[in-house]
Structures are given as C-alpha cells and as structure tokens.
C-alpha cells in the first residue's frame, strides 16, 4: 500500500448472470482527495462501490484499507461502516417509517439504549448546520426525496469516516443543495477524508474533484489527475470513441414544422397533483419540451396528459375530437406513450425478463385475451435490443440485473413497439451516460421526422435546446412562457424560468 492512500482495491472481479460486471479493476483513493469514478452506465461503477461496501461479495481481488494490516474482507454494510467507510447511495437507503434523527443514528450509536433527547438535539444541530429543512422528530417518509437524500448525506458526514462514498447523490438535488453538498465535501477533504464521487454531471466533476478514475465495460481505462484530462478526452475515454458533434444532430428545418396540424390539445386540464390547470397544444411531428426547475410542475403536467395522476377537470382533444382520458390505458388506446420519470417505481417490472418488459405495453393494448406468441415476442425483443443496442445477456435476463441506462432503453422499446402517435419522455436521460443520451436524443428526432409528436423533458437545459423545437417553460406549477426558433437559447430559457427579473 502506498503511503498516502487510504484505500486500495486490486484486481477486483465480479460476475452476474454471466455478465462480467468487473474485470481486473484497480482503484486507489488518497487521503484528502475527491476522486471521481466515471463511466457509462454498465461500466461497473455501482458494482465496484457495492463490492467495497460489502453489499456484493467479490469473485476475486484484494482490498486494502489504511490502518489495517494486509487485505481486509468486508462482508456487510455494517462491517464497512465499522471500518470507516460510509456511503450515500443513489437510491434512498433509509427507513421511511423512522424519524429523521433515527435514520441518522440507527445502526451506529453505542450502547443498548437510545437517548432520544440527545439524539434529536444533535440531529437538529447537524440538520441546521447543513441547512437541511427537516426536523429531527419528523418521520422520514413525510420529507421530500431531496430532503431524504440530504439526510442520508448528513448521516454519512456525521460518521467518523476515512472513506466517504457518494454514489450519484446529486441527481435529486437542486443547484443550491448541490452547492451546499460541495462545501461539505471540501470541508471533509480538508479534514483528510477520502471521497469517492460518482456522478454523471461533468460540470460537477470539474468543480470539485482532484482525480478521475474511468471505467468502461467493467474494465479500468485509467486514473488521471483532473488537470491532465480535458473534458473532451474524458468523454471519449468513457465512450471509447470520439464524441459525435452534438450540435449536428438537430436538422435545420424544424421552423417549418411549427404551426402545422395540432394533434393534441389540452384545455384547462387539471389533476390531483397539479396546482394550476394546464393549457397547451402539441403539433404533429414536433419535439417539444416542458422545462422549469424541479417542482415547477412539468412532470405533473405530462402525468395528467397520460392519466397517471387522477384527472379532475378540463377538456382534451386529439386530432380535433373531444376525448376523455381517465387512466393510462385510455391514453394508450389513443396512441399516447409515456416513459415515466421514476423508472424504478412506475416503469420496470424488476423480476420479469427483458422480453416481457418490452412487450408489456403492447400486451395491454392487445388485451389479455389476445396473447402475443412467444416467437413473436422474441422477435420484437431481438429487434429492439439490436435497434437500441441494449446490453443484456439474453432476452430472458431479468430486467433488474441490467444497468440503469439499459433499463431505460428497455422501457423506451416498450413504448416504441406500441407505435404511439404521441410519445412523452419524462427525464429519459437521467442517470444515463453520455453515449446513450445522444442515442436517445437522435432517436427522438428520428421519431419526429417520421411524423410523430414527442414531448421531451429533461433537467439539463442544453440537452433540451439540442432536441426540442419548442419549449414550454413552467414555474411554480404554471406555464409562464413558450419559446421556439431563435428564442431557443440558454439565456432566454433561464430568464423565462426566472421570470425575466433578476
């Protein structure tokens, strides 16, 4: 082990369902550094972290930790915690039925008894110092997802850890929360803690990290100091190929499409989740987007279109005809497809195979009395696995063993198979690597080129600017502007979101 390193992993191997998730991966974390672990989806970042924290057992390899003689073996998250490795996972791994304070202290406090008074007091102190808007006595389940994530971070930070792992902690945080988190990370770094930071946001990597380790397809590409690795090189190393010129993917004639025939029109559409009624129309063959900050109502809006939230009023017209959409099945029958924001909750059926997940929507459309033959299903699945380049061992593999990006592609395949006239994609690129992002963007433009309408929602504005020909801007649950053509610039979108006033 080198002198200044706190953690070394040597020659790690891990295989799932005959997919080689990690092959001979080395990783070194030094004292007081923020080390980005980068790679596409399925590159093995999460697997490496779960091996380190004892969630998965490794097939081969050694782990060394500062203060321990020889290789150590961590068999459970409990042991990892005791060894000084604390982790914040992408998914919330807290108990919703316990209080905020309990979630911060359970599993790591000493003694047999719980001192509620002391625990609540110190939890409140930490919450306050980190500016987390939650009370110690509050039940965790009553907090928003972002606050829950911050609580998880607060827990990890409060532990006397040598290694802090942040596995995509920023995906549910807004800008000011991210800024808070970064201040915290720099503070910990100054105290000599080694931080492993996994994220898809390149800006964030270049803002706080000292060093980058790149993985690709379960193998180590290399370890670099941040100043020696410009962004373009990082991206090409992650992808293993030169990056397509992103600005080229949008065709030039989108101006002509605006003003063409209206396929979908909502008049005063309201739902239980939405704060104000929506009013908008969707044109044939366009890619439009709903943009706005987190919580601006963009997801609620599209959920109302699809009937995913209970619709409480308003009129909806498709191709000029009045229709009623009460539940997702109604929407599907009218040729609307919806890729939900939270794929874990609303999208995938984890234990079903990739094939079954792909044909699921089609099966619902056909009705359960017209079963799709296995051969036909197999054909569809093969076709889309090839078309979308889904990385899976076979069509029979359970979808939960696929990486996030590949799960997303499977759900996309599911909707494409139903041949929808209007496809809603809510954050289809969240938590997905750049290569897949570009593929999805290209696919969206291709669908629009075929005369289909697509609504594309993303929290990354530049991604929406690249893909959409019209943007509906939302703020605080209301539509506040519509941008198209030459107005589609970053600054214009920003100022519309901010309401024109600074």
Partner 1 sequence: MKIGVDKKTRRLAPMSDTNLLLTITIVVFFVMYIAAMLFIGRGFLRVQTFFNILNENAALIILSCGMSIVMITGGIDISVGKLTALICMSAAVNLDYHGGSVMTAVLLSLAIGLAFGIVQGALVAFLDIQPFIVTLAGMFFAKGMTTIVNSTQFNVQNEAFVALKNTRIYIPFLGSVNRRGVFVPAYVEIGVIVAVVAVIVLFFILRWTKLGRSFYAVGGNPQSANMLGINVRKTRFLAHLLCGLLAGIGGFVYFLHVGSGAPSHATGAEMNAIASSIIGGTMLTGGVGNIIGTFFGVLSLSTIKNIVSLLGLDDAWWTNITVAAMICIFLVVQSIVLLRKNKNS
Contact residues toward partner 1 (CB under 8 A) are 55, 76-78, 81-82, 87, 89, 92-99, 102-103, 106-109, 111-114, 116, 135, 137-139, 141-143, 155
Q: How far is the CB of 126 from partner 1 (least distance, A)?
A: 16
Q: Answer whether 116's CB lies under 8 Å from 98's CB.
A: no
Question: Which segments of 6-44 does DSSP mark as H helices, in order?
Answer: none
Q: How far is the CB of 470 from partner 1 (least distance, A)?
A: 33
Question: Which segments of 273-373 does DSSP mark as H helices, in order?
Answer: 298-306, 328-333, 354-366
Select 113 or 190, whichever has its Cβ closest to partner 1: 113
Select 129 or 144, whichever has its Cβ closest to partner 1: 144
Select 111 or 252, whichever has its Cβ closest to partner 1: 111
Which single residue is written with the structure tokens 């697509």?
A: 454
Directed axis angle between helix 145-158 and helix 175-190, to 10°?
Answer: 10
What is the side-by-side order of every strand in the sheet holding 478-484? 336-339, 422-426, 453-457, 287-291, 470-475, 478-484
Q: How far is the CB of 100 from partner 1 (least distance, A)?
A: 10
Instruction: Identify the CA nearest to 94 among candidates 42, 134, 35.
Output: 134
221: enclosing H helix or E strand: strand 219-225
Burial 393-429 (b: 16+ CB within 10 A, else e): eebebbbebbbbbbbbbbbbbbbbbbebbbbbbbbbb
Q: How far is the CB of 344 from partner 1 (least distance, A)?
A: 12
Select 4 or 78, whichever has its Cβ closest to partner 1: 78
Q: How far is the CB of 347 from partner 1 (least distance, A)?
A: 19
DSSP state of 373: P
Select 97 or 129, whichever has its Cβ closest to partner 1: 97
Q: How far is the CB of 143 from partner 1 (least distance, A)?
A: 8
Helix, coil or strand: residue 455: strand
DSSP state of 401: G
Helix, coil or strand: residue 490: helix
Q: How far is the CB of 91 from partner 1 (least distance, A)?
A: 9
Select 85 or 358, whichever has its Cβ closest to partner 1: 85
Instruction: Identify the CA nearest to 372 among candidates 385, 383, 358.
Output: 358
Q: How far is the CB of 87 from partner 1 (least distance, A)?
A: 7
Select 134 or 464, whichever has its Cβ closest to partner 1: 134
Rounded-to-integer distance, Cα 429 and Cα 433, Å: 8
Rounded-to-integer distance, Cα 397 and Cα 352, Å: 8
Select 106 or 480, whichever has its Cβ closest to partner 1: 106
Q: How far is the CB of 308 from partner 1 (least distance, A)?
A: 15
469 contact partners, CB below 8 Å, separation of at least 6: 254, 255, 257, 258, 286, 287, 288, 448, 484, 488
| Entry field: residues in the chain | 502
Select 84 or 435, whichever has its Cβ closest to partner 1: 84
Q: Answer whether 52's CB lies under 8 Å from 9's CB.
A: yes
- DSSP β-bridge partners for residue 501: none
Select 19 or 98, whichever has its Cβ closest to partner 1: 98
Q: How far is the CB of 89 from partner 1 (least distance, A)?
A: 7
- DSSP β-bridge partners for residue 399: none
């Amino acid at each position: 082990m080198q002198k200044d390193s706190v953690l070394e992993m040597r020659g790690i191997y891990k295989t799932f369902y005959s997919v080689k998730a990690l092959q001979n991966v080395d990783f070194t974390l030094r004292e007081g550094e923020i080390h980005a672990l980068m790679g596409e989806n399925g590159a093995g970042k999460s697997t490496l972290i779960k091996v380190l924290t004892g969630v998965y057992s490794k097939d081969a390899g050694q782990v060394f930790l500062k203060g321990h003689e020889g290789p150590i073996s961590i068999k459970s998250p409990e042991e990892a915690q005791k060894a000084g490795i604390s982790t914040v996972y992408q998914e919330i791994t807290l108990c919703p039925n316990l209080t905020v304070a309990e979630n911060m202290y359970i599993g790591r406090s000493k003694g047999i008894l719980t001192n509620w008074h002391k625990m609540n007091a110190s939890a409140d102190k930490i919450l306050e110092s980190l500016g987390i808007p939650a009370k110690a006595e509050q039940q965790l389940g009553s907090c928003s997802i972002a606050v829950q994530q911050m609580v998880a971070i607060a827990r990890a930070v409060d532990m006397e850890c040598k290694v802090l792992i942040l596995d995509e902690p920023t995906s549910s945080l807004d800008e000011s929360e991210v800024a808070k988190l970064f201040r915290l990370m720099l503070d910990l770094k100054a105290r000599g803690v080694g931080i492993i930071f996994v994220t898809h946001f390149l800006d964030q990597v270049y803002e706080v990290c000292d060093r980058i380790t790149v993985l690709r397809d379960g193998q180590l590409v290399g370890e670099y100091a941040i100043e020696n690795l410009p962004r373009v090189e990082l991206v090409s190393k992650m992808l293993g190929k030169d990056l397509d010129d992103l600005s080229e993917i949008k065709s030039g004639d989108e101006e002509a499409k605006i003003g063409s025939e209206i396929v979908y029109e909502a008049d005063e559409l309201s739902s239980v989740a939405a704060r104000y009624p929506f009013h908008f129309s969707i044109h044939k063959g366009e890619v439009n987007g709903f943009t706005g900050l987190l919580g601006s109502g963009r997801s609620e809006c599209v959920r109302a279109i699809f009937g995913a939230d209970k619709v409480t009023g308003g009129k909806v017209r498709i191709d000029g005809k009045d229709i009623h959409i009460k539940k997702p099945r109604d929407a599907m029958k009218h040729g609307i497809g919806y890729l939900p924001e939270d794929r874990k909750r609303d999208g995938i059926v984890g234990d079903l195979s990739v094939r079954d997940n792909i044909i699921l929507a089609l099966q619902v459309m056909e009705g359960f009395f017209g079963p799709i033959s296995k051969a036909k299903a197999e054909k569809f699945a093969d076709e889309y696995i090839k078309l979308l380049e889904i990385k899976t061992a076979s069509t029979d593999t359970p979808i939960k063993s696929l990486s996030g990006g590949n799960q997303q592609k499977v759900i996309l395949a599911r909707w494409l198979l139903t041949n929808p006239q209007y496809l809603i994609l809510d954050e289809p690129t969240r938590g997905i690597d750049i290569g897949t992002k570009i593929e999805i963007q290209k696919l969206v433009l291709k669908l629009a080129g075929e005369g289909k309408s697509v609504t594309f929602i993303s929290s990354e504005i530049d991604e929406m600017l690249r893909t959409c020909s019209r943007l509906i801007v939302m703020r605080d649950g209301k539509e506040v502007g519509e941008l198209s053509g030459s107005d589609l610039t970053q600054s214009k979108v920003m100022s519309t979101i901010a309401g024109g006033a600074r």
